[in-house]
Structure 1
């Protein structure tokens, strides 16, 4: 029995195709309506699974093609994040046999497939499948790594991407002196569709590692959101997924984790570090003119359309680049709009892991770096303001240059 799955996001297609093949179905996939139509002709599927929201051409065109042009009764299953009642009604009116809303269990997709076309004659060996959620969004996660050979929790990362579809992890090796690169390449082996290793030959610091990783992931067209996370998993992967849930269900462009202590949360930190952190945070709030409680949490998720503004240019500082990101958003969109675009979300769990690269002495240096940020972006703001004034003068006095001798 043959199944054709059409979805513009490969991170959705890969686990779906794998599970159906393990059940004994022949499976082909397509990432566009045009390719899907061609495969309908050549592959002659017994079932077509199609997404609605695809770039250029809607998946509804596949339903029209099968029912109106081909005059075929081939079963059609819609698998989409589109919950518009009018679209759902249109799909059924055109002849769709089933409509499932993302996110949903991969086991449910398989069960409905069996209901529509039956079980293959040569069914694959029975396996105890780990249930996987098919998400309606795809997320890239950048994880900067410097000498993480001993600390990298490889099993936690692989377990997460196995259970949660729609995630692509990008580990950035920041010129590590130990065997981190080998560990990362081993981690990627057999998971190339879900894990990327970006190798920086020289150590450039966390800020540059994150920046390069974010820009690299932004080139992937099937990602909706891109974020970054510390390699030591001081922020839990489940908590990071909660940040993603917030950004996809709101109009926020950036959702930042916050390590603020609250009832029911497992937040631990050394007392001396806490005192310094509070002092630094006070200065940061003054620089940003925002009431951010914790800008430095190493877990943040970004809407793809603010990646260039946030990461195109190199950062002035090595450790507190998060402050620079928020400052760049403010300069680009204005303070009032920036406040509407940024969200701070408390984490349920955060633990200061042993082996942190940031010492107490480094923490004191941060105050000096905050001064650098204040000076740099104040000058940047003035230069933009002057450019605007000059542009306005040219608009109101366009003949001035021509009159000069």
Structure 2
């Protein structure tokens, strides 16, 4: 039995293909709708699973093609995040057999497949899976500098194995230990879900995040891209809550907050907390925004905000988050930027041992804040960007 699955997001197709193959189906996948139609015409599958919202050729166009083909009675299932009644109705009017709304468990998808075309005689796997097919695809940049001992590899792999739609990009920031080897081992067998971006020289966290974000922005199938600390002081489940907020709102950036919280399980050394609150007061004055915690290492972005936030190198090494928000306010205007930024309380945050930022470094941040205030004053930054673009041309 042959199955063809067409979706413009590869992160959706890969776990689906793997599971259907385990069940004994011969499964073809295609991210290009036009190539998907050609594959249908050459393979004549027993079932086509198709997404609706795809560039250039929509899923409904594919349904029309099938119903007017040499094999018009082929079973068709729609797997889409589109929940509009008129689209669903049109789909059934065109002759689809089933309409499944993302997010959806892989178990349910397979049960519906079996109901439509039956079960192969060989290869059937009776065990269930915990994988969910998500509506959106997310890229996560994780900067790593000498993380050989702290990297929680199993937590990362367990999460992407159970949650489709996530692609992790580990940026090795010129580590002097065996971090790169650890990352390469982590990637083995998961190359479609894990990228290792290697920087030969240590450029600091700000530059590692910037390069990783720009690299991931080139992936067309990602809806949102964010960054997260390697020590998982904010865990992936909490990060997913930030993703849920941005996908159900008009915010361009959703930032985690360790201070603005409601009954959260958050621990932090008292001295560090006092210094952080003092620095945050200065930051609020510079940004003219009531941010309670700009420095949380968990943030998610819409793709159209990435060029604005990350195109230019940062002035500072540790408080580049402040520069991101300042760039947004200079680009869109302060009032509009405030409406585009969201600060969301975290349920859990733990200050992990081995943090690279010392108490002495915290004091240096005050000087870096003065740098930001000077560089981003008035129209100075906008003028610099225009000059830089002219030089590139």
TM-score range, shorter chain: over 0.9
* Distance 1:322-1:25 versus aligned 2 partners, 3 A rule: same
Q: Which residue of 2 aligns with 1:353?
A: 352
Q: After superposition, give the CA deviation of every residue in 1:145-175 in whole Å (9 maximum; x if it has no partner).
A: 0000000000000000001000000000000
Deviation of 1:253 (Å): 0.4
Q: After superposition, give the CA deviation of every residue in 1:198-244 in whole Å (9 maximum; x if it has no partner).
A: 00000000000000000000000000000000000000110000000
Q: 1:14-29 maps to which residues of 2 (within 5 A)?
A: 14-29=14-29
Q: Secondary structure at the match of 1:99?
A: strand
Q: Which residue of 2 aligns with 1:194?
A: 193
Deviation of 1:121 (Å): 1.6
Deviation of 1:264 (Å): 2.6
Q: Which residue of 1 aligns with 2:272?
A: 273
Deviation of 1:261 (Å): 5.7
Q: Which residue of 1 aligns with 2:287?
A: 288
Give TM-score, length-normalised by structure 1: 0.93
Q: 1:76-225 maps to which residues of 2 (within 5 A)?
A: 76-124=76-124, 126=125, 128-225=127-224
Deviation of 1:38 (Å): 0.6
Q: Which residue of 2 aligns with 1:391?
A: none
Q: Which residue of 1 aligns with 2:391?
A: none
Q: Secondary structure at the match of 1:378?
A: coil
Q: 1:262-341 maps to which residues of 2 (within 5 A)?
A: 262-341=261-340
Q: Which residue of 1 aligns with 2:259?
A: 260
Matched-pair contact (CA < 8 Å) for 2:144–2:173 = yes
Q: Which residue of 1 aligns with 2:34?
A: 34
Q: Secondary structure at the match of 2:189?
A: coil
Deviation of 1:263 (Å): 4.2
Structure with larger Rg:
1
- Quick one: distance in 2 between partners of 1:15 and 1:257? 29
Show structure 1 runs of 4+ deviating over 2 A: 68-71, 126-130, 261-264, 379-385
- Quick one: distance in 1 between partners of 2:361 and 2:90? 60
- Quick one: distance in 1 between partners of 2:268 and 2:382? 41
- Quick one: distance in 1 between partners of 2:13 and 2:349? 33
* Distance 1:261-1:61 versus aligned 2 partners, 3 A rule: closer
- Quick one: distance in 2 between partners of 1:262 and 1:13? 37
Matched-pair contact (CA < 8 Å) for 1:141–1:227 = yes
Q: After superposition, give the CA deviation of every residue in 1:335-374 in whole Å (9 maximum; x if it has no partner).
A: 0110110000000000000000000000000000000000
Root-mean-square deviation (Å): 1.3
Deviation of 1:281 (Å): 0.4
- Quick one: distance in 2 between partners of 1:383 and 1:172? 29
Corresponding pairs, count? 385
Instruction: Give the gaps of 5 or more residues in structure 2.
Output: 387-393
- Quick one: distance in 1 between partners of 2:358 and 2:379? 31
- Quick one: distance in 1 between partners of 2:127 and 2:368? 53
Instruction: Give the gaps of 5 or more residues in structure 1.
Output: 388-405
